[in-house]
Amino acid sequence: MQVPFVVRGVIVPLLAPTSENGMGVDEEALRTHVAWLIDKGVHGLMPCGTTGEGPLLTAEERRRVLETVVEATAHRVAVIAHVGVASTSETIDLARHARDVGADAISAVTPYYFRLPEQALVAHYCRLAEAVPDLPVFLYNIPQCTGNSLTRAAVEAIVARCPNVVGIKDSSGDLSSLLGFVGVNGGDFRVVCGSDGLLLQALQAGACAGVSGNANVFPEVVVELFRAFWRGDMEGARRQQSLLDVARRAMGDGADLALLKAMLEVRGLASGPVRSPLPPATPETVARCRATLEAAGLL
């Protein structure tokens, strides 16, 4: 059946470096970013998600991004490929590709655009999981972007039918939503926090990992938050959470990918512009963000 898989710690939802015209993936810049993040101590990578502009990439670009990340990672950290799109069939195609190129697990956001009843969401995820029975699958709940929310009842129905569905990334920003998934399947279910502002609270409540968009730029802060938490240094963990809060607010709380990319450039790594129709960051916004981060000692 499925290969045992443990997710723990800092998972980075990789930014997707682009060429200067905003078209095409800069694979060399992506390799450099992957190596830098691994050197900083992160525990896993998640390409082609929300932070990676996944919905704006073509299917072929998503495949190339994942292939590049798997190759650059060379089994040093886990790769959780985000494969979710609006249609079940294309999600399955991307999942099979992820399996074939060596991803450790997959994640899939709920289908978007069309509002779906709970039974349709359950059927979608079960078809996905059954298509790649040897691959661990993580559900991904971000209803503010997709319009479709996963409930505990839906998750329990999926897990009951699909043993390779092993966890969920909750990016709802609602702590009560995240807490609702803790204890699914008798506690043998991994809850991953996708909201940086709730990270420490989520860990205290039983989450095992965090998918942190801000860790693209400041991996040291998030890695040290986990290390402090694991060694029982709650004062240190709270200090790192406070720094993370400064970073996330300065960079648009995960919603301004142009600012994230601009600050990665400030740190010396090529990232390129965001893809249309996402708006570019203005010089004034970049300067204000940089000043805030410098004042906090982050730059």
Backbone angles phi, psi at 162, to 5 degrees: -130, 95
Q: Where are the alpha helices (DSSP H) in the chain?
A: 27-39, 59-73, 88-101, 118-131, 143-146, 152-161, 175-181, 199-205, 219-230, 234-250, 257-266, 283-295
Question: 40, 112, 125, 140: which is the annotated catalytic residue?
Answer: 140
Question: 40, 112, 125, 169: which is the annotated catalytic residue?
Answer: 169
Does residue 261 have an active-site annotation?
A: no
Specify the length of the chain in residues. 299
Does residue 140 have an active-site annotation?
A: yes
Q: Give whole-number Cα distances, 140 to 137, 145, 150, in Å.
A: 10, 11, 8
Quote the CA–CA distance of 121 and 140 in Å, as a whole number.
12
CB 12 within 8 A of CB 44: yes
What does the DSSP assignment read for 249-279?
HHTTTTT-HHHHHHHHHHTT----PPPTTSP
Tokens 């995240």 map to which residue? 178
Coil, strand or helix at 17: coil
Partners of residue 12 on adjacent β-strands? 45
How many alpha carbons lie under 13 Å from residue 282 in its C-beta half-sphere? 3
Coil, strand or helix at 139: strand
Using only C-alpha atoms, what is the Rg of the chain?
Answer: 18
Q: Which residues are catalytic?
A: 140, 169
